[in-house]
Structure 1
């Protein structure tokens, strides 16, 4: 019966013996890649122009990120919004200078949160939070939507329309007053001859 199933047959055992090391290596690679992840608890963040906003990300599992290379990158320009490494803030885009802060209090707990102060409409878009430490690399994406309530209320075409309507109403008022005065006041009498 054993020979029918092929268990003792040399050609049946050979593929499993050669495949086993590859399967073990593949499993270990999968475990290694799953060790580090960056998680964004909120994938979509909203803010109003002028407010401060915090883009949140954290390492999973929790690890001390104090000495890691942490980059917040704006997708639209592929530029660094904030770059931190080993306790030092490095280069960043000019439009974010003085407006960003990596919240260092949470780094030892694996938090990679970035504060942007006085947000602008141009700050809207997608941001990647990337971390790197030796062979470990991971990233997550957060979308920021900045709204400007004043730009939604006052559009340039509305202002132009209001000016035109005001001028028309003012012109009609002047014409009506002119015509009314012409009818109410008596016509000037012709000069008397001597």
Structure 2
């Protein structure tokens, strides 16, 4: 409440000639309010706040029990069939073992992994993630956790949301997983060449082996001659048969 007030006391206000006027009261800037609130003119009445005095200090916001959730600042990449790790942490760091921590996927909030009451809630997982996830809790006392997904599939690609819940307070962070094929960098024509090349090499090897055997047979073969009662017909027997030299 604001009102005009003067300081009571035995002092008397000086008149024009410097005399004291009986019964008068003068504003007491020394005792009512400090000089920096009164100004420089001592002859005017001041507005004095009659009530609780509010000091000019702004209260600091208490962050007790509150935090922010921070995810990776870039997409996480993984190959089909490999493992993917999705890190998540709270800031400022604090012990999160007593919190509820989980990952879910939009748009229908499918539960990828859920940790509550100090243990994993496998029964609440989406069917496609049962048996494929693991919560790494080695640094959970510092507010840091990592979700490991095994046997990554193409269907795992997309957005994930990590959340921490402490009683009724919850914060979350979004992240992205990109799944790649191990041979994504190979041109389709190169794949065809890779498939055909072994067949060509096998045929070439078989042809070279055949030629090598023919060459060896020609180099080690015996000279063939013919003997019979008809000397004028060489290389033939009596009935036109031939025998190797030295057989008869």
TM range (shorter): 0.5 to 0.7
Greater helix proportion: 1
Residues 65 and 166 in structure 2, CA contact (< 8 A), matched pair in contact too: no
Equivalent position to 1:136, from 169, 172, 175: 169
Answering whether residue 104 of structure 2 is matched by residue 44 of structure 1, we say: no
Q: Which runs of 5+ in 2 are unaligned?
A: 1-37, 193-248
More RCO (CA 8 Å, sep 6+): 1
Match in the other structure for 1:122: 155
Q: Distance in 1 between matches of 2:74 and 2:184?
A: 25
Q: Distance in 2 between matches of 1:141 and 1:59?
A: 13
Answering whether residue 109 of structure 2 is matched by residue 78 of structure 1, we say: yes
Radius of gyration: which is bigger? 2
Q: Distance in 2 between matches of 1:142 and 1:121?
A: 16
Q: TM (normalized to structure 1)?
A: 0.62
What is the count of residue pairs matched by the alignment? 147
CA spacing shift, 1:70–1:34, aligned 2, 3 Å = closer
Q: CA deviation at 1:32?
A: 2.8
Match in the other structure for 1:175: none
Residue 112 of structure 1 aligns to a residue whose secondary structure is strand
Q: CA deviation at 1:133?
A: 1.1
Q: Distance in 2 between matches of 1:35 and 1:69?
A: 14
Match in the other structure for 1:147: 180
Q: Distance in 2 between matches of 1:9 and 1:66?
A: 55
Answering whether residue 129 of structure 2 is matched by residue 96 of structure 1, we say: yes
Match in the other structure for 1:110: 143
Q: CA deviation at 1:153?
A: 5.8
CA spacing shift, 1:84–1:137, aligned 2, 3 Å = same
Answering whether residue 87 of structure 2 is matched by residue 56 of structure 1, we say: yes
Aligned-pair Cα RMSD in Å? 3.5
Q: CA deviation at 1:120?
A: 0.4
Range with greater deviation from structure 2 (113-122 or 59-68): 59-68
CA spacing shift, 1:40–1:148, aligned 2, 3 Å = same
Match in the other structure for 1:165: none
Q: Distance in 2 between matches of 1:78 and 1:44?
A: 20
Q: Distance in 2 between matches of 1:77 and 1:87?
A: 25
Q: Distance in 2 between matches of 1:52 and 1:114?
A: 10
Q: Which runs of 5+ in 1 are unaligned?
A: 160-194
